[in-house]
Amino acid sequence: MQTPFVEVRDWPYKPMRGAHIYMPGRDGIPFFKRLLAWLASLRYNTLFLEVGGGMRYDRHPEVNEAWARFCQEADSFPGGPMGLQSSQPYPKDSTHTELGGGRWLEKQDVADLVRYANSLEIEAIPELQSLSHAYYMVLAHPEIAERAYDPWPDAYCPSNPKSYELYFDLLDEVIEAFRPRMVHIGHDEVCTLGVCDRCRDKSGAELLGGDLRRIHDYLASKGIRTVLWGDTLMSIIIGGVDQWAGRAARSVDAGRKMDHTARETYQAVDFVPKDMLIFGWCYESDPQSELFFQRKGFEMIFGNFGDNHHPHNFYRWDKRSQGAGVLGAEVSTWCHVSEYAFGHNMRLHDFLFSANMLWWRHYTDRERELTLAEVARLQPEAWQALTGGVLPSLSGAVATPIALAASAAVAASVLEGIEGSWTGASTVTFELGGPAVSVSAATPSSGPIPLGRRAAGLAFLHYCLSERKHQPTWAFEDPLNKDDHNLLGEYVVTYADGTVEAIAIRYGDNISRPDLVYGEHQASWPFWAQPAWEGRDREGKCITFWSHEWVNPHPEKQIASVSLNYGGNVPAERVVLLAATAISEP
């Protein structure tokens, strides 16, 4: 038999396919390395690693100590870090206290992460924030603060030479650890500028331009390219209000009205060095932002995929990404480096979706639904890669339906009048059409559903009725740990020996509503559940049932029963279990 001759032509659409991630804490290093290996398998080739106070500085250990102290104060502040951010009668930058797990890594640990990234052919580019988001610097040296009266200053004075003495010292140590070709210097969301006595008589453009030239020239003297967020160089007018480079902020946070206008800075775009690489993240506010920067002589990449604008909602990518000056895009994470934070905040979905956009030059809006379906199908494999675990359903396991009829909370089948089909996203098979189990405040427990067998895992086909809002982890009072705002209840697995394991049911994590279409709502991207069945009801409305697979930590034990318990007190809420499957070793 002869093998037919074929020619395979495959190359990336964009040269820069990036991820923006905080420095991990020490306990996050294993996950961080698994994440990098997974990103490399998706053909990402650039890591923007935000350093801040998250690496030990030999010349300035006071920076690390001030950073850890600030993180502790922010985490214990009423309302957590976001409460601290809105505690003053003027706008403040977000705190980023998740960076380094609120602590710092040793320099040799950082160098090891850089070497590991490079071994995967991922270029590691440090981000050391300057001008804005500079808590780590200014809290250690309040004498350089732009607002001397701020209890938690976030910006340094660009007219004070001591600001740059400190920044360049820190920059030198970062360069020593990374040996980078580029350095990202931050500069997004400049809220405080032209406030102190040194700066008050200078224009915003003069202050920004001088700051950028000073840092650019220092890096250029070392053969390093400057990268920065581009919002301060833009003037975006919406409804007659300048939204970015001179924006007015009005709020009633903390019971006090804020009325503050930052200095205009956008005029600086015409007299700053043009070899700086721009992170353009205002592309939704300005549908021609990439043309603006190209006309001004800059190269740019689209920034903040996965925060301001999810990649699956970036329309006309094929047109807007065409210019020679558009080098690619990056997915920003802005959260603690952990499986839970990345999954809960939909960042892992964003990585999967963006990988297709950045590699395949023929992606258009017409492929959006197909790409979403492929992302759903790839979720179980992504979970395995990122946890190092094994899902029984992916290892040739045997699936056995669990009879729900014995439940004390059994209800009639919900399929009457509904038509649909399996999506192929779930790796588990279910028998659908029998009685369902429904729990609520009125009937909080299903009672034991007998099983009487060993199992490597259990899978649940379920949905919930809930009006809870999906909150990102940075809105938690403690951004480093799970919040119970989305905890609906639990499955309780009881073993024959009397021991139990609880499986938390969290809205937007491993369950969602039936009226949400996958990828079209913040709560419709549950990383630990797949859209297993999709259909329509008699009125033509979309219906989605979600599959969640649990890995049994004690497969050697016989499971006596499993029960479903509701844990809330909202009368209209309920959790509905449509089918369950026991997964045994092959």
DSSP string, 22-47: EPPPGGGHHHHHHHHHHHHHTT--EE
Q: How many residues does the chain have?
A: 586
In terms of Cα–Cα distance, which of 568, 286, 269, 583 is closest to 430? Answer: 583
User: What is the mean pLDDT, run by run of 10 residues, along the chain of 586 residues?
Assistant: 68 95 97 98 98 98 98 96 93 95 97 98 98 97 96 97 98 98 96 93 95 98 97 75 50 41 86 97 88 96 81 92 94 96 95 96 94 96 94 89 83 78 93 90 94 96 95 93 94 98 98 94 93 92 96 96 95 95 87
**pLDDT of 242:** 58
Place of tokens 């985490």: 75
Strands 410-411 and 436-440: antiparallel
> Do 16-364 and 392-584 agree at the fold level?
no
Place of tokens 């100590």: 65
**pLDDT of 253:** 37
**pLDDT of 2:** 65
Give the Cα separation of 519 and 349 in Å (integer): 9
Q: Where are the beta strands (DSSP E) in 364-422?
A: 398-402, 410-411, 419-422
Residue 369: CB partners within 8 Å, gap ≥ 6? none
Give the Cα separation of 35 and 338 in Å (integer): 9
Structure tokens at 7: 């020619």
**pLDDT of 286:** 86
Count the Cβ atoms, other than its own, within 10 Å of residue 551: 16
**pLDDT of 537:** 87
Place of tokens 């290996």: 37
Q: What is the DSSP-derived secondary structure letter of residue 39?
A: H
Spatial contact of 489 and 575, defined as CB atoms under 8 Å apart: yes
Which amino acid appears at position 520 of this protein? E
Spatial contact of 442 and 418, defined as CB atoms under 8 Å apart: no
3.40.50.12780, 1.10.10.60, 3.40.640.10, 3.20.20.80: which CATH number matches 16-364? 3.20.20.80
Spatial contact of 60 and 170, defined as CB atoms under 8 Å apart: yes
**pLDDT of 240:** 55
CATH of segment(s) 392-584: 2.60.120
Single pTM value for the model: 0.94
Domain ranges of the chain: 16-364, 392-584
For residue 73, what are the CA distances in angstroms to 61, 88, 91, 146, 346?
19, 15, 19, 21, 28
In terms of Cα–Cα distance, which of 389, 400, 381 is closest to 584? Answer: 400
In terms of Cα–Cα distance, which of 102, 84, 104, 103 is closest to 94? Answer: 84
